Amino acid sequence: MRLFLAINLPASVRRGIRAATAPLRDATHDRDAVKWVDDDHLHLTLKFLGEQPDASVGPLRAALEAAVAPHTTFTLDVGGLGAFPNLHMPRVVWMGVTPEPKLELLQHDVERACAALGYSLDARAFRPHITLGRTRDRVARDDARAIATAARAVRFKATALAHSVDLMQSELGPHGARHSVLAALQLAGAP
């Protein structure tokens, strides 16, 4: 099974992101230039684990419960658009999440718990973001320019309570991925 760890966003925030970023989805001449994420899949990824055996879920859940337990709920500030590597050559178009010490400590402890189980450490620095879309191939210069222009016009800010780290399964199918929560590991003070 394909697994990842995430902080899921409330439906109202996901709908707000979707509505605010509509100009991005309409900006390109090539409608297939970017594979846009469905609003019900918008989340903040803490760690991608990839294909794992079914038997890994139990040990992951136990390790993550211990890692998450000392952390308290906190607020995510969502807003601002960007792309990796940049908006002029986008591979991943994203909405930003303001760096927050509680989030960075949580992600660090999640990473350590996974490393203790033998999962590789992510070599890249943690840059909190919500993936909005991924390019299929190299984006045409005109489409990249259109995405950058549309991104500058998006004005969206929201807050969301981070109350759990969710162990997620992503099942790939002919109509795209389907995500399901295998375990919701509650932060202290979660409602």
Which residues are known to be catalytic? 43, 129
Tokens of 186: 């509650």
Choose among 45, 66, 64: nearest CA to 56.
64
End-to-end CA distance of the chain: 30
What is the rounded distance in angstroms from the CA atom of residue 65 to the CA atom of residue 35?
33
Instruction: Measure the CA dihedral 113/119/121/125, to 10°.
Output: -80
Which residue in this structure is represented by tokens 């308290």? 72
Supply angle C-alpha 91, 97, 101, rounded to 5.
Answer: 130
Between CA 80 and CA 141 the distance in angstroms is 22
Residue entry with tokens 């919701």: 184
Say if residue 91 is exposed, middle or buried (CB neighbours under 10 Å; 0-12, 13-18, 19+): middle
